[in-house]
Amino acid sequence: MISLNLLGKSQNSSITLPDMSSLDAITRQLPEGYYSTFRTYDGCTRVIGLSAHLRRLPNTGASSLRRNLLHLLEPYRPGEVRVRVIETKQGQLYIAIEPLKLLPSDAYENGVRVETTSIQRNNPRAKSTSFISVSDRERKHIARAGIFEALLVKNGRILEGMTSNFFYVIDDILFTAQKDILLGVTRTMVIRAARGRGVEVRYRALELSQLSAVKEAFITSSSRGIVPVIQIDDVQVGQGRVGRITKKLMRAYEEHVNENAEKI
């Protein structure tokens, strides 16, 4: 069951909305604002990059939020959850929590298909709740089509995913866009892990005309980690299977999570 709480100065209030089917459904019904989404580890006691997630909320006190979050997570232990923290432009703070549903192992072992879309974020650097409504039609389309994610294209260049950051490999060099994207928490950690494993990283968005040259690709997000991509639109990525560098970084990211997830 998904829970939603409004945090107040003196007490917290549990809230029920007409549609409580998903975190996105809840977000669309709340006033516009900013948000961050992450998953827990170790029985709802740790989060990877929690401090960075909380910095996305411009007027929220991290210490108070951590205390409230710990309390709200108690009913879900010892399981794991996915959390969305939302700060409205009026200053209201909401925490929505749902039990974590892991991706099937096939997504990590054999990769996923993605497609490109022309929808855009108004302000790529801010994680605004308004984008969830803007992208709703595309989200429903890819769900019906069995597509895992949609990649945002601007001026013929792939920038990022609707709910993820995008990486690709050409000539054993790892590339990712730097401008006009949301700088994801997991993205930063993957870049550090890559450089720590001797993988060269360069910042450059992928031109659609270069799709056939891509040998490996993957997307990253806090809830899903690194998910290999084996097809973009109708173009097969590399040999159509998870590549060597992607596998190396998947292992490195798991090690990073185990060593560095923050206590709430």
Q: Do 16 and 145 belong together in one domain?
A: no
Q: Do 56 and 24 belong together in one domain?
A: yes
Give pLDDT, residue 89: 93
Q: Do 29 and 47 belong together in one domain?
A: yes
Give pLDDT, residue 10: 72
Token pair 């054999």 is at which residue? 110
pLDDT tens track of the chain, all 264 residues?
899 999 987 778 999 999 999 999 999 999 999 999 999 999 999 999 999 999 999 888 889 999 999 999 999 999 999 999 999 999 999 999 999 999 999 999 999 999 999 998 888 888 899 999 889 899 999 999 999 999 999 999 999 999 999 999 999 999 999 999 999 999 999 999 999 999 999 999 999 999 999 999 999 999 999 999 999 999 999 999 999 999 999 999 999 999 999 999
Q: Do 134 and 111 belong together in one domain?
A: yes
Q: Give the CATH number, domain containing residue 69.
A: 3.30.470.10
Q: Do 118 and 137 belong together in one domain?
A: yes
Q: Do 14 and 71 belong together in one domain?
A: yes
Q: Give the CATH number, domain containing residue 230.
A: 3.20.10.10
Q: Do 243 and 163 belong together in one domain?
A: yes
Q: Do 95 and 194 belong together in one domain?
A: no
DSSP state of 145: H
Domain housing 115: 105-260
Cis (ω within 30 of 0) for the bond into 124? no
Helices and strands (H, E) in the chain, number of each type: 8, 17
Q: Do 156 and 35 belong together in one domain?
A: no
Point out the domain boundary residue: 64, 99, 134: 99
The phi, psi pair for 97, rounded to 5°, reads: -135, 135
| Distance between CA atoms of residues 225 and 55, nearest Å | 20
Which residue type does 235 have? V
Point out the domain boundary residue: 99, 127, 143: 99
Q: Do 128 and 81 belong together in one domain?
A: no
Write down the pTM of the prediction.
Answer: 0.94
Give pLDDT, residue 1: 85
Smallest Cα–Cα separation from 103: which of 156, 155, 147, 148? Answer: 148
Q: Do 120 and 80 belong together in one domain?
A: no
Give pLDDT, residue 54: 92
Where in the chain does DSSP place strands (E)? 3-7, 13-14, 33-39, 46-47, 81-88, 93-99, 112-117, 149-154, 157-161, 165-170, 173-176, 201-203, 206-207, 216-221, 225-232, 235-236, 262-263
Point out the domain boundary residue: 99, 129, 145: 99
Domain count for the chain: 2
Give pLDDT, residue 21: 95
Q: Do 73 and 112 belong together in one domain?
A: no
